[in-house]
Structure 1
Amino acid sequence: MTATTDGKRHGPLLVGLAVTLVAFNLRPALTSVGPLLTQIVADTGSTATTAAALTTLPVLCLGLGGAFGPPAIRRLGVDAGILAGLVAVLAGLLLRGLGGLPALFAGSALSGLGIGLSGVLLPALVKRDFSRHAGRATGLYTMALCIGAGTAAGLTVPLEHWLGQGWAAALAIWALPALAAVVAWIPFARLRPTPAAAPSAKAAVRLWQEPLAWQVAGFMGLQSSLAYIQFGWLPALLQGRGLDAVDAGYLTALSAFAQAPGALVVPTLAAGARDQRGWIVGSLFVTVVVFAALGFGPTKGMVVAAIVQGFALGGCFGLGLTVIVLRARDAASAGALSAMAQGFGYALASLGPFGFGLAHEVSGGWAWPTLLFAAVALGAAICGLGAGRNLHVGQAARGP
């Protein structure tokens, strides 16, 4: 149950619906650019390096926004902190609608900060309000994240054609669902934090000395890097194989939509297991194999490959959020661990799209970038073998 500023309490179903709407709006700012990336580069006379920076900046800002998680919990509370993040997302989306590279970069950065702040607070809310069903609740809002990602990836190019106002208007249209989320979340935003859910500054500092916390952060960051490489570069890779912008966007959207069931099913099953190591390694292996199939396999199998790859990648992302909740003892430690894992993790994740773009520019093809994708997945698996153990932060020294 969640209290509001007037002391009333909302049922878990109503809270869950509101969280789902919030989660839906935490990815369109990221996935709407990729399908238009080739057009943006052509219209602005940019280089591949500029395109790589554009796909990297919002992910880097996710990490910076995540660093504000613990202070936001202490000063505002989880609920009002989520609202503040949503308002930043909305403002950034509107800013992108002004057109031009400066507004596009500034709006992407502001939206990234807001996504980072709201994103790190959601695990604390799950631990507080849905602690008995952490895997299922995490899977549901992760599924909503994936649906939002897929909707933006698939509809942005058709919206650009329908509006006839250029790429800036197509990007700005995603401010409408963000506005709906802001309005819907206002009744849940209380202005004072719950003391038990506010991690102390000392606790947050101690967490950075925990090997298990670093393993959780490493897994969260590296598996997220795989997703942001796909969001930013899969449309361009598919266009490089001869698909037009619309078909490439649809395939990317199909893969993103397929992440939704993966994000629901895999964390729910993994949360009920003794530990999550097998689920982590298996999901990463499938993600890499099928990404390679999309880049180099037969074109007739692209639809199936996109679905399977999306399911596996959604499972990875759901596992990243689930281990944050499972490795924490309470809402306070979940908030602190979420801020570290997503703050540091997204800063680490931002290197993936940038490195992928540079590898493509240097090599002129997709073989080197795909090898980089596999190397990132290997690093995620190594971290995941530690993060998936049945331990809590502060307990790792005693062994599994």
Structure 2
Amino acid sequence: MTAPHTPSTATRSTHWLLALSLILIACNLRPVFGSLSVVLPEIMRDTGLSATGASVLTTLPILCLGVFSLPTPGLSRRFGAERVLLLALLLIAGGTLLRAVGSIAALFASAVLAGAGIAMGNVLLPGLIKRSFATRAALMMGLYTLAVCAGASSAAAFTVPMEMHWFGGAWAPALAAWTGLALLALLVWTPQALRAAPVKTDAAAHAGSLLRSALAWQVTLFMGLQSALAYIVMGWLAPILRERGIASETAGYLVAASILMQLVASLFTPPLAARLPNQRGFALALSAMILAAFLGLLWGPLGAPMWAWAVLLGLGQGGSFALALSLIVMRSGNMQTTARLSAMAQGWGYALAAWGPLLVGVLRSMTGSYLSSVWLVVLLCIATAIAGWGAGRNLQVQTSYS
């Protein structure tokens, strides 16, 4: 006779389901970016979009990450984090599906909708991990960043093959096909979100402000600057490589390989960062890796070395992204502070990050070449290292009172 499930067994099952759900949601936070970049030349050709217009299109969802991050903690307090995450998934699914229309207007509307949903997910997932997996936060942050990178890598690798082999060379349905990933997450998450009751917020978490905390701003700058570099890769690396004479599929595979290596770095970075007395040297090393790899890809010889530079870039960027997310958790004392620091770091940080891909497009229009972006990358890497040196201090943010 089979023994009935005990409460502890049910609790463990619920915990595993929650972990799976958060990872599935995380998989949906980057395909919007990775899928667009690899077909951007075709979009520009078919719609007449200029290089400046393309830079605005790639920048708009990043700007939305900043704009919609800031009100997310307040929405979470009122409606519950689980229900706001459900709304986020609906926005991502709707925005991704809208790309099937194929017009410039639909692409810009899609960027706003999906960007809003991604912003909410960015802010809420670290807080939910801190609340629900307090004893395994480093492991879950590693899995979370791995899932984010997996979504980006898959979009970069498979969008062009889907366009060519499934949709007869049509980029619009290939972009919209990523709606399926959001629908899968909705299928798993919706019952949990509707059952969940809002968690009572600690009143102390509302007091004061993080805006006067130097450490909070350093975490914010590190998040924003490394994100600017990441979105330059997702938005423009494939067109840059194609301008160097690399075939479209190969360029997509190089970007995908770079993002795939982020999986490795993102899995191991949070546990490693948690074991270090501080994360200053780690931040410097990652910034140096990103700079070296960028220079190799933009100026180095074609052929096999490109794959080595793509691998190094992925390790550096995956590590810096995972470190930025880990610092949000490590520098805050409770779920509410984590959500507020996450909103600040990702709100102001992504507003800063949006300038990265925008400037690449502007420089391309002004100079007629992507090589002008080298100096932008150099400056961003140096600034990232400086911000990481401050954010890597072994301290927690202190709330200031007005």
| TM-score interval, smaller chain | over 0.9
TM-superposed CA distance for 1:381, in Å, is 1.4
Structure 2 distance, partners of 1:246, 1:93, is: 22
In structure 2, the partner of 1:4 is: none
Structure 1 distance, partners of 2:347, 2:148, is: 18
- Asked whether the 8 Å contact 1:96–1:108 carries over to 2, the reply is no
The equivalences for 1:235-314 within 5 A come to 235-300=238-303, 301-314=305-318
TM-superposed CA distance for 1:372, in Å, is 0.2
1:368 to 369, 372, 392: 372
In structure 2, the partner of 1:195 is: 200
Kindly provide the CA deviation profile for residues 227-250 of structure 1, in whole angstroms up to 9, marking residues without a partner as x: 000000000111011111111111
1:227 to 230, 249, 256: 230
TM-superposed CA distance for 1:25, in Å, is 0.8
Indicate yes or no: 2:351 matched with 1:347. Answer: yes
* Ranges in structure 2 where 5+ consecutive residues have no aligned partner: 1-9
Closer, same or farther: CA 233–198 of 1 in aligned 2, 3 Å: farther
TM-superposed CA distance for 1:270, in Å, is 0.9
Closer, same or farther: CA 72–197 of 1 in aligned 2, 3 Å: farther
Name the SS of the counterpart of 2:39 in structure 1. Answer: helix
- Asked whether the 8 Å contact 1:160–1:170 carries over to 2, the reply is yes
Indicate yes or no: 2:389 matched with 1:385. Answer: yes
Structure 2 distance, partners of 1:191, 1:69, is: 18
2:331 to 315, 323, 327: 327
1:80 to 80, 83, 93: 83
Indicate yes or no: 2:28 matched with 1:22. Answer: no
- Asked whether the 8 Å contact 2:217–2:345 carries over to 1, the reply is yes
- Asked whether the 8 Å contact 1:199–1:332 carries over to 2, the reply is no
More deviation in 127-136 or 387-396? 387-396
Indicate yes or no: 2:171 matched with 1:164. Answer: no
Which amino acid letter does the alignment assign opposite residue 319 of structure 2?
G
Structure 2 distance, partners of 1:201, 1:32, is: 39
Instruction: Supply the RMSD in Å over aligned alpha carbons.
Output: 1.8
Which amino acid letter does the alignment assign opposite residue 99 of structure 2?
R
Kindly provide the CA deviation profile for residues 93-134 of structure 1, in whole angstroms up to 9, marking residues without a partner as x: 111111100000100111011000111001101110122222
Kindly provide the CA deviation profile for residues 129-171 of structure 1, in whole angstroms up to 9, marking residues without a partner as x: 1222222211111001001000000111111112126111111
TM-superposed CA distance for 1:251, in Å, is 0.7
Name the SS of the counterpart of 2:369 in structure 1. Answer: coil
- Asked whether the 8 Å contact 1:266–1:279 carries over to 2, the reply is no
Name the SS of the counterpart of 1:193 in structure 2. Answer: coil
1:149 to 129, 146, 152: 152
Structure 1 distance, partners of 2:206, 2:212, is: 13
Closer, same or farther: CA 180–286 of 1 in aligned 2, 3 Å: same
* Ranges in structure 1 where 5+ consecutive residues have no aligned partner: 1-6
TM-score, normalization by structure 1: 0.93
TM-score, normalization by structure 2: 0.93
Structure 1 distance, partners of 2:266, 2:16, is: 20
More deviation in 32-41 or 159-168? 159-168
Structure with bigger gyration radius: 2
Structure 2 distance, partners of 1:265, 1:361, is: 39
Structure 2 distance, partners of 1:320, 1:329, is: 16
Name the SS of the counterpart of 1:207 in structure 2. Answer: coil
Structure 1 distance, partners of 2:206, 2:337, is: 11
In structure 1, the partner of 2:177 is: 173
Give aligned-pair identity as a percent.
Answer: 42
TM-superposed CA distance for 1:78, in Å, is 1.7
- Asked whether the 8 Å contact 1:74–1:198 carries over to 2, the reply is no
